[in-house]
Amino acid sequence: MIQRTTGAVYAVDDISFDIQRGETLGLVGESGCGKTTAGRTILGLYKATAGNVSIDGHDICTANGHEWMTIRRKASIIFQDPYASLNPRWSVSAIISEPIRVHGLLKTVAERDQRAQELLELVGLNARHLNRFPHEFSGGQRQRIGIARALACNPKFIVCDEPISALDVSIQAQVVNLLEDLQERFELTYLFIAHDLSMVRHICDRVAVMYLGVIVEMAPRDNLYEKPLHPYTQALLSSVPVPDPKKERKRRRIILTGDVPSPINPPDGCRFHTRCPIAKRPPVASRCSEIVPEWREIKPNHWVACHEV
């Protein structure tokens, strides 16, 4: 369980899930749902307020010293913004080999440079560009540099925090294909955080949907997309535009009214009840506005938090 409160912002409020070795779990939701906070807390970039996170048998929340360093090698992160996540004053070589240096894995500059060259080639970049600076690369190439850095210490688990959102469509496909190739080659496990539901369907094995700090539904990919059970998931999927004019024009969307409430003051009971098409609201008494729905396994491997399902 992970629970985080800072002042009164309930960014991530009591979520539980696991990720199997070699799997890609998608974590989706709209702005403010807590997915990025969850991803960063899982790696220890934010300190969890409560709960525990275990990566390959090590508990992030209680580890320190040697064990902490071990976890930090086994788990890494790829960030969203290829322009903000690379230090503009460091060469690509320095950026990629920083984790190696910090963990003392290779002692000499020559060894680290060689490893950096290997990593550059792994991600499809020219090893001769080792001494260039980030501004000399395009957005897609910078993202590849970020991936190379994430691979530096041979991790087992990578949190991909919206790794392609800032890229053009034709480059997104390149980077996603690279991530899939690397996963197969190195038996990696991914937590893929994104808001692009089409890309999530492509790359993920299972998907968890978040709303205002809680997970509302989690299921294997095709089950979620073809038979979503939670009203929010249904509305979310019905909003995704599809590049097919005939289909798109015939669709009946579930349009949610209003805006997402603030996580500083989330609604009582089910957080989604204020916008839910099927919730019964006050003055009609209902569980939706008063009781937090239980997180239940409705069908094998298909979990939902909803009173009406």
Partner 1 sequence: MDAVLQVNDLAVHFLTPEGTIYAVNGISFSLDNSETLAVVGESGCGKSVTMLSILGLVPIPPGQIVNGNAIYQEMDLLHSTEAQLELIRGKEISMIFQDPMTSLNPVLTIKKQITESLQRHMGLPMEKATQQAIALLNQVGLSDAQQRLNDYPHQFSGGMRQRVMIAMALACMPRILIADEPTTALDVTIQAQIVELVIALRERLGMAMIWITHDLGVVAGLADRVIVMYAGCIVEEAAVTQVYENPRHPYTMALLAALPRADLRRNQRLKSISGAPPTLHAEIHGCPFAPRCDFAIDHCWSENPSPLQLPPEGGRVSPLLPSERATATGGRFDRRSLHRIACWVDVQTGKAR
209 forms beta bridges with 28, 217
Q: Using the minimum distance from each CB to partner 1, give the nearer residue, 53 or 224.
A: 224
What does the alpha-carbon distance between residue 18 and residue 53 come to, in Å, rounded to a whole number? 9
- 141-170: which residues touch partner 1 (CB under 8 A)? 141, 168-170
Q: Can you tell me which of 65, 104, 245, 283 binds partner 1, judged by CB under 8 A?
A: 245
User: Taking the complex as a whole, how short is the minimal distance between the CB of residue 276 and partner 1, in angstroms?
Assistant: 12
Q: Using the minimum distance from each CB to partner 1, give the nearer residue, 148 or 235.
A: 235
Q: Using the minimum distance from each CB to partner 1, give the nearer residue, 134 or 140.
A: 140
What does the alpha-carbon distance between residue 106 and residue 27 come to, in Å, rounded to a whole number? 34
What does the alpha-carbon distance between residue 239 and residue 144 come to, in Å, rounded to a whole number? 31
Count the Cβ atoms, other than its own, within 10 Å of residue 252.
6
Q: Is residue 23 within 8 Å of residue 125, measured between CB atoms?
A: no
Question: Binding mask 197-236 vs partner 1 (x if CB under 8 A, - otherwise)?
Answer: xxxxxxx------------------x--xx--------xx
The verdict on 237 binding partner 1 (CB under 8 A) reads: yes
Q: What is the total count of residues that contact partner 1 (CB under 8 A)? A: 48
The verdict on 238 binding partner 1 (CB under 8 A) reads: yes
Q: Using the minimum distance from each CB to partner 1, give the nearer residue, 43 or 179.
A: 179
The verdict on 239 binding partner 1 (CB under 8 A) reads: yes
Q: Can you tell me which of 110, 252, 259, 294 binds partner 1, judged by CB under 8 A?
A: 259
User: Taking the complex as a whole, how short is the minimal distance between the CB of residue 85 and partner 1, in angstroms?
Assistant: 18
What does the alpha-carbon distance between residue 292 and residue 269 come to, in Å, rounded to a whole number? 4
Q: Can you tell me which of 41, 172, 189, 274 binds partner 1, judged by CB under 8 A?
A: 172
In the numeric block, which tokens belong to residue 286? Answer: 């209902």
What does the alpha-carbon distance between residue 192 and residue 200 come to, in Å, rounded to a whole number? 8
- 269-308: which residues touch partner 1 (CB under 8 A)? none
In the numeric block, which tokens belong to residue 264? Answer: 């500083």
The pairing of strands 24-28 and 295-299 is: unpaired
Count the Cβ atoms, other than its own, within 10 Å of residue 184.
10
User: Taking the complex as a whole, how short is the minimal distance between the CB of residue 22 and partner 1, in angstroms?
Assistant: 17
User: Taking the complex as a whole, how short is the minimal distance between the CB of residue 231 and partner 1, in angstroms?
Assistant: 12
Q: Using the minimum distance from each CB to partner 1, give the nearer residue, 251 or 299.
A: 251
Q: Using the minimum distance from each CB to partner 1, give the nearer residue, 136 or 297.
A: 136
- 5-34: which residues touch partner 1 (CB under 8 A)? 30-31
User: Taking the complex as a whole, how short is the minimal distance between the CB of residue 210 and partner 1, in angstroms?
Assistant: 12
Q: Can you tell me which of 106, 171, 292, 298 binds partner 1, judged by CB under 8 A?
A: 171
The verdict on 126 binding partner 1 (CB under 8 A) reads: no
User: Taking the complex as a whole, how short is the minimal distance between the CB of residue 20 and partner 1, in angstroms?
Assistant: 19
Binding site for partner 1 (CB under 8 A): 30-31, 138, 140-141, 168-174, 176-177, 180, 195-203, 222, 225-226, 235-249, 251, 253, 255-256, 259-260
